[in-house]
Amino acid sequence: MSEVIHRNSLTQLAAGLRAKKFSSVELVRAYLERIEASQPVLNAFVSVTGSQALAAAAAADRDIAGGGGGPLAGVPIGHKDLFCTEGVRTTCGSRMLDNFVSPYDATVVAKLKAAGAVTLGKLNMDEFAMGSSSETSYYGPVRNPWSTDCVPGGSSGGSAAAVAARLVPGATATDTGGSIRQPAALCGITGIKPTYGRVSRYGMIAFASSLDQGGVLTTSAADAALMLREMAGFDPNDSTSVDTPVPDYVAALDAPLAGVRIGLIKEFLDEGLDRENERRIREALAVLERLGASLREVSLPNLPLSVPAYYVVAPAECSSNLARYDGVRFGHRCKEPRDLQDLYRRSRGEGFGAEVKRRIMTGTYVLSAGYYDAYYLKAQRVRQLIAADFKRAFGEVDALVGPTSPTAAFRIGAKTADPITMYLNDIYTIGANLAGLPALSVPCGFVGGLPVGLQIVGTHFAEARILNIAHRYQLETDWHLKSPERFA
Amino acid sequence: MYDFALFFSFAFRPMSLTRAQIESIAHLARLELEPAEIPLYQESLSRIIDLVGQLDRADTANVAPMAHPLPGLTQRLRPDAVTEQDAHERYQASAPQVAAGLYLVPKVIE
């Protein structure tokens, strides 16, 4: 087997396995070695499930030999440690769940297993997905493979760092306010957050239930299309799962872009956007125009209110969702509680980290008596205005574009002291979550040696369209093929 | 000459939340805080509330609150039938303290 097997894309690996160019066991061994070597540097994994992976790989090899196996038979992947995995520790990056072994698989995990994918382990993340830098994890910060002094973005930083360093060809991730797209941009890879309701949330540990959506991180849009096709679909176990057929995202990749109308979001070209980053975005848009797409500027006047609206809605839902961690049924329990109140207070005080507590308290405050109308109801009305802006824009264009993040990756520790500075990192990504829209990020060049991303937003259930635009862009450019030298 | 306005804006940042309010929020959320943590949350929560104050700029007089990101989605119902098997032992395997299938907590009624 080639020494550089990890340079293959997920699509190539799936085809190579089926053609018996290499076995899944060989592949899994090669990736496990890379994971082990990277772990002291990147800290991308919370748990590595080597022996289970090798057993699953052997089973996949038998399936392939027998002419069977799913579309991802034998392909190694990683799961963000927020997806429940039966019999495997699922921590959500928190001390609260340090000892939690899930009794069941999330639907996403079960579907990828059924498609033949082999799980190599659970990926590090911001605690309960609350963060934009993967620094709030109980298991220590994740480092960016392009520069280990920098953050990989967050909250799916372990997933993004692992894909960027070619420790896995693809990984699951989740996006509540940008947690797939922002780390994709900061790590120079491709990441898609599907439409709300497209991917089941069953077994995905809840943060903000009206915003949370599972998706994928891969090197290319073609790989994302292949993996997402297996993950998406109706699930009776998720009451907000949508019962519409999943199109063949892979088959739709090659459609020409002639006549496709693209809108550049004017409000995203604000004073917070790094000017070099803006140049990369404009260069990427020139490529799309060359491919026949028409470009115009579109205004979404309420979009700048995304961050304040989000920091009411998300903490409110978080404070409610995280009430389940009571030290009684599962998770951390304090030692020698004096009474039930003491048990609740100390178990939660000890189990949650500082950022999670901050969000629970923010949510508790905005939902408390006398403040509900002023904050929560007001934010939900502003959310409606933002969704209406998007709806209006999609009357004129097929896709909206802009930067994914204001800057390239920042240094570890640079933004931990000030939560507001950290929150503003998601200024361009939050809108799609508030409106429930599918959105992706593709690498579009470098600023100061670090990757930046182009964001493409589609209308509800237009995953195939935005993956198509991203794929055509990647046929013309090679940013997605670049990998950090240290992990070449 | 000093720019006093600038000086005061740094020295006396508007504290919209008091220490007592933070203690009350922490109580409602059942979170034990170290005394040293309280001023930190007082400062950061006040700033978050200031940020959220930007929402007042939007005119929402005739706008309905949006509870769900997908328009027209209705709550799905399922038949009221038993579908789950009893698996309490498996579910309770991760519990801090159980006995005879019951979760144990400190005595509530004296």
Q: Which residue of B has its CA nearest to A381?
A: B65
What residues contact residue A44 under an 8 Å CB cut-off, 6+ apart? A35, A38, A123, A124, A142, A157, A158, A159, A161, A162, A165, A167
Is A308 near chain B, with CB under 8 Å?
A: yes
Q: Cβ contact (<8 Å) for A328 and B103?
A: yes
Q: Which of A315, A347, A382 is the last residue of a domain?
A: A382
> Are residue A134 and residue A204 in the same domain, yes or no?
yes
Specify the long-range contacts of residues A473-479, CB closer than 8 Å, at least 24 apart: A473/A221, A473/A284, A473/A287, A473/A288, A473/A291, A473/A442, A473/A444, A474/A190, A474/A220, A474/A221, A474/A222, A474/A442, A476/A287, A476/A290, A476/A291, A477/A284, A477/A287, A477/A444, A479/A188, A479/A442, A479/A443, A479/A444, A479/A445, A479/A451
How close does chain A come to B79, measured CA to CA in Å? 12
CATH fold, domain B1-55, is: Histone, subunit A (1.10.20)
Residue B1 reports pLDDT greater than 50: no
- The answer to whether the complex's ipTM is over 0.90 is yes
How close does chain B come to A159, measured CA to CA in Å? 26
Question: For position A485, what pLDDT does the model report?
Answer: 95
Residue B15 reports pLDDT greater than 70: no
Q: Domain span at residue A316?
A: 305-382
> Are residue A314 and residue A240 in the same domain, yes or no?
no
Q: Cβ contact (<8 Å) for A342 and B22?
A: no
> Are residue A229 and residue A317 in the same domain, yes or no?
no
Active site residue A80: yes
Q: How confident is the model at residue B4 (pLDDT cuts 50, 70, 90)?
A: very low
How close does chain A come to B46, measured CA to CA in Å? 9
Active site residue A155: yes
Task: Specify the DSSP element, H or E, that contains A476.
Answer: helix A463-476
Which residues of A fall within a CB distance of 8 Å from B87?
103
Sheet holding A170-175, edge to edge: A45-48, A118-123, A76-80, A170-175, A213-218, A190-193, A439-447, A450-458, A399-403, A261-265, A294-298
Which residues between 86 and 125 in chain A have a beta carbon less than 8 angstroms from any beta carbon of chain B? 99-101, 103
Is B68 near chain A, with CB under 8 Å?
A: yes
How close does chain A come to B1, measured CA to CA in Å? 30
Mean of pLDDT values over B57-85: 89
Among A175, A381, A391, A425, pick the best mutation site for testing chain B contact (most B Cβ within 10 A): A381
Residue of A381, A325, A390 lying closest to A353 (CA atoms): A325
How close does chain B come to A30, measured CA to CA in Å? 33
Q: Which of A99, A361, A384 sits opposite B29 (nearest CB)?
A: A361
Q: Cβ contact (<8 Å) for B70 and A242?
A: yes
Q: Which of A47, A94, A132, A179 is catalytic?
A: A179
Q: Cβ contact (<8 Å) for A379 and B55?
A: yes
> Are residue A253 and residue A131 in the same domain, yes or no?
yes
How close does chain B come to A450, measured CA to CA in Å? 30
Q: How confident is the model at residue B68 (pLDDT cuts 50, 70, 90)?
A: confident
Domain layout of chain B by residue ranges: 1-55
Q: Which of A9, A23, A24, A80 is catalytic?
A: A80
> Are residue A236 and residue A354 in the same domain, yes or no?
no
Which residues of A fall within a CB distance of 8 Å from B96?
327-328, 330-333
Tokens representing residue A486 in the block: 């240290």
Active site residue A179: yes
Q: Write the single-letter amino acid at A44.
A: A
Task: Specify the DSSP element, H or E, that contains A452.
Answer: strand A450-458
Q: Cβ contact (<8 Å) for B55 and A309?
A: yes
Q: Does residue A248 fall inside a structural domain? A: yes
Residue B11 reports pLDDT greater than 60: no
> Are residue A176 and residue A237 in the same domain, yes or no?
yes
Is A420 near chain B, with CB under 8 Å?
A: yes
Residue B13 reports pLDDT greater than 90: no
Tell me the pLDDT tens digit for each residue of A83-133.
999 999 999 999 999 999 999 999 999 999 999 999 999 999 999 999 999
Tell me how many domains chain A contains: 2
Which residues between 7 and 66 in chain B have a beta carbon less than 8 angstroms from any beta carbon of chain A? 17, 21-22, 25-26, 28-33, 37, 40-41, 44-45, 47-49, 51-58, 60, 63-66
| pTM greater than 0.80 | yes
Residue ranges for chain A with pLDDT beneath 50 = none
Q: How confident is the model at residue B109 (pLDDT cuts 50, 70, 90)?
A: confident
Which residues of B fall within a CB distance of 8 Å from A103?
87, 90-91, 93-94
Q: Which of A346, A377, A382 sits opposite B58 (nearest CB)?
A: A382
Q: Cβ contact (<8 Å) for B30 and A341?
A: yes
Among B70, B77, B104, B108, pick the best mutation site for testing chain A contact (most A Cβ within 10 A): B70
